[in-house]
Structure 1
Amino acid sequence: MTKIRLVILGGGESGIGTALLGKKEGYNVFVSDKGTIKDKYKNALIHNEIEWEEKQHSSDRILNADLVMKSPGIPDSIELVKQLKKLEIPVISEIEFASWFTNAKLIAITGSNGKTTTASLTHHLLKSEESLGLAGNIGDSFASSVCNEQLKNYVLEVSSFQLDGITKFKPNIAVILNITPDHLDRYNYEFESYIASKFRIAMNQTSEDYLIYDADDAVIIKWLEENPVQSTLLPFSLTKVIENGAYLENNNIKITIDNNSITMPTKSITLEGKHNIKNAMAASTVAHLLRIRKQTIRESLENFQGVEHRLEHVLKINKVDYINDSKATNVNATYYALESMEAPTVWIVGGEDKGNNYEELFPFVNEKVKAIICLGVDNEKLMQAFSNMVDIIIETQFMSEAVKIAYKVADSGDSVLLSPACASFDLFENYEDRGRQFKNAVRNL
């Protein structure tokens, strides 16, 4: 019997996880990466006797596939993917492939912002559950986790790119935190396509599955009205009373599921900002659904430390607070960061623009920002948007210089906020690299 030929495009975390799982499940596996594969991944392929190539895509070794797993960073628009689709060779994502080999309960979390925080918080609230994994866009890939251990529950952070490649993937509990324009360069600058992509998370759900979502998000509400889903709906809101779901009442989060209610004081939440009340609502709704004790939920909300690079307090120097929000790679994430600022702010912004519209930030910039430091290769759009709003606006292409300028400009009682609103790829490897460079530069002051 000939083995099914599984070709994997991309030799990163999701690609190698899929390769190892594919090999374990008896596929004939080949990994192809147009760039260079990191040594740790190469060693895993060699050790497991999996064929691979780098710095090229050999079409003769790819177009004979029975099944292709495409890493989320590779767009559908490249010629090779178009050829595969023309040949009717299925092209799937890693979360789809991994889901074929586990019977675990899946809690999948998506949204333009807050995914990592909410996935980490959900995992933290559920950790009294036996046999629990955290995977997807956070930590290990879902595939490598399924390959290495058979767990009963998974909290998965999933992106629109991963959801684009699903066919049967079906979470028992799906969470959509919010939908704001992001990654539009991958969706022909059509917001509707990006929204549809996010809602794929619920496409295979039945009435026995749950969809938790933000009932204050006009984009989500409109889509659900026009495209009903099969799932049992559990909305959360800061402004409306919700019968089945979560809402805010007198600084308490009230969660009701099938007439079973629990109440949590918002002062239990260590994370700052209104958006984090919503993230806590979503995570606590999952915990309540899975019958985690109220006391456990409350204690877990109180001792959750937050996520690196997301409104992370780095140091206080001369009574100036330095805050790393490098994970804010879009305008909406920076909106939340600026909204939560209570002191006059020196704002470090910039990077690779993904078709940003900065207008929604104008009220906060007028009210809270005293100086702007543009950190990017091309800052023209930022300079045009904000130069009339602040007295000081300076350009640089070096993180160390940006931090030194901020140090000079900030007065006692101010905050220095790195919240770029852009992708990092013009000057940095990724948002983590950008955040670490910021923290190192602050520590070197």
Structure 2
Amino acid sequence: MKRLVVLGAGESGVGTALLGKQKGYHVFVSDKQKIKPKYKEVLIHNEIEWEEEKHSKAVIMTADVVMKSPGIPDTVPIVKELNHKGIPVISEIEFAAQFTDAIIVGITGSNGKTTTASLTHHILKQGGLNVGLAGNIGQSFAAQVAEGKNDFYVLELSSFQLDGIVNFRPHIAILTNITEDHLDRYEYKFENYINSKFRIVMNQTEADYFVYDADDPVIENWMQHNAVQSQKMPFSITKKVAQGASINNDKITLTIKNKTIEMPTKSLELQGNHNLKNAMAASTVAKLLSIRKATIRESLTNFQSVEHRLETVLKIQNVTYINDSKATNVNATFYALDSMSSPTVWIVGGVDKGNNYEELLPLVNEKVKAIVCLGLDNEKIINTFGNVVPIMTQTESMKDAVQIAYRLADKGDTVLLSPACASFDLFENYEDRGRQFKDAVRNL
């Protein structure tokens, strides 16, 4: 019996354990932290061996294959030792993909991947397909494969998940954009992170498709120097493309397999150029999978925004409170600030991932009247914006940050939580941060 060791008992770890057991592996789950009660119950109920708050090296080293949760860096001692011993360390995506014949749409990028994945899933579902949404979002891919009820999967993929693939091959790959992010996990080398994102196409053949942002200089530069085997489907809001999606006279023009369809941009539920691109990417996938034009149009007009992404919470005394907790890097916050149309009190900060805040200076200068720092180390933010914004304060709790922002905001202003950082110094994750913001606003 083959031995599968799962490192990390979160959503992806427990899903992998369930699938592994179903496929006849002897499974052992090991987590350096305490395992959440809901996951512990699943492991106990399914009679899967587990341990918490430690890694038993002697047991782990007997593995035939190890699935590592995406949150565990390659630099931790146990992973280094596994690599040294030549034991394969893979991601949940790699493990689960071998057990399904479903058609896979894989979506990665520094920003926009959650919205694009959710929107793509929405259109395909409205089109009547049996489609699952997984990866970095929702129920784990492995658990859904174990249930075996989907003919299609839309997977939101982080660079960490792609680092752990060997044979994984999505039929359609989407790359939304690449900007500096997670550099702390890539030796602070941007090129390492870029190469990681492009792993999404590494096993594709000419029978597959690659949908990408042709306006992104980082993507274009990489593609000039590297071969991609799959059929290219670029999308662009600045230039015409022979195959793919572009904008003509306020309409999205989709040209696929020599057929063209048009859709007015003003009817889109999600506004802003970045959402226009997300819509173009999702529509391209839908057309490649033969979804009817009317269904695509309708889906784009009735899709609701993703939670924690430019989500309007409340208006209090004519001040609008916006939750953009999912903005965990500078580029995402750039989109948020760019879409502000009133004077803004900006709540920013958290765990810095090697951020360069200087590209935000023009927007901050134009739109931000006050900054509320929310994090344990705000030095870089203060150094960058201290001379640009007249008011700057520091807090270490969401409640305090929201109350200070409330006092600083005047009628007609916006209070924007768009941290540009990871959340792990004060919160469990970006969802926890977003929910705490919403609770604090509702309690004003």
Residue aligned with 2:355, SS: coil
Matched residue, 1:363:
362
Matched residue, 1:282:
281
1:11-90 to 2 correspondences below 5 Å:
11-90=9-88
State the aligned residue count. Answer: 443
Matched residue, 2:303:
304
Cα pair 1:396 1:402 within 8 Å, conserved: yes
Matched residue, 1:295:
294
Matched residue, 1:252:
251
Q: State yes or no: 1:224 paired with 2:223.
A: yes
Cα pair 1:102 1:150 within 8 Å, conserved: no
Q: State yes or no: 1:125 paired with 2:114.
A: no
Residue aligned with 1:371, SS: strand
- Alpha-carbon distance, 1:319 to partner: 1.2
Equivalent AA in structure 1 for residue 25 of structure 2: Y
- Alpha-carbon distance, 1:149 to partner: 2.7
Cα pair 1:334 1:421 within 8 Å, conserved: yes
User: What TM-score, normalized to structure 1?
Assistant: 0.98
Once the two structures are superposed, what CA deviation does each residue of 1:345-377 show, in whole Å capped at 9, x if it has no partner? Answer: 111000111111001101100111111111111
Equivalent AA in structure 2 for residue 153 of structure 1: F
Once the two structures are superposed, what CA deviation does each residue of 1:274-308 show, in whole Å capped at 9, x if it has no partner? Answer: 11111111011111111111111111111111100
Q: State how far apart, in whole Å, the 1-side matches of 2:263 and 2:344 are.
A: 32
Cα pair 1:349 1:373 within 8 Å, conserved: yes
Residue aligned with 1:53, SS: strand
Equivalent AA in structure 2 for residue 392 of structure 1: I
- Structure 1 portions without partners, runs of 5+: none
Cα pair 1:31 1:53 within 8 Å, conserved: yes
Runs of 4+ aligned residues of structure 1 deviating over 4 Å after TM superposition are none
Equivalent AA in structure 2 for residue 35 of structure 1: Q
Q: State how far apart, in whole Å, the 2-side matches of 1:112 and 1:304 are.
A: 22
Equivalent AA in structure 2 for residue 404 of structure 1: Q
Equivalent AA in structure 1 for residue 293 of structure 2: K
Matched residue, 2:97:
99
- Alpha-carbon distance, 1:258 to partner: 1.7
Equivalent AA in structure 1 for residue 175 of structure 2: I
Q: State how far apart, in whole Å, the 2-side matches of 1:89 and 1:398 are.
A: 43
- Alpha-carbon distance, 1:77 to partner: 1.0
Q: State yes or no: 1:205 paired with 2:204.
A: yes
Matched residue, 2:137:
138
- Alpha-carbon distance, 1:38 to partner: 0.8
Once the two structures are superposed, what CA deviation does each residue of 1:21-74 show, in whole Å capped at 9, x if it has no partner? Answer: 000000011011111111111111111111111111111000111111111111
Equivalent AA in structure 2 for residue 121 of structure 1: L
Q: State yes or no: 1:168 paired with 2:184.
A: no
Percent of aligned pairs sharing the same letter: 68
Equivalent AA in structure 2 for residue 119 of structure 1: A
Equivalent AA in structure 2 for residue 284 of structure 1: S
Residue aligned with 1:291, SS: coil
Q: State how far apart, in whole Å, the 1-side matches of 2:41 and 2:383 are.
A: 48
Q: State yes or no: 1:233 paired with 2:232.
A: yes
Q: State how far apart, in whole Å, the 1-side matches of 2:417 and 2:123 are.
A: 29
- Alpha-carbon distance, 1:400 to partner: 1.1
Cα pair 1:95 1:162 within 8 Å, conserved: yes
Q: State how far apart, in whole Å, the 2-side matches of 1:390 and 1:332 are.
A: 20
- Alpha-carbon distance, 1:403 to partner: 1.0
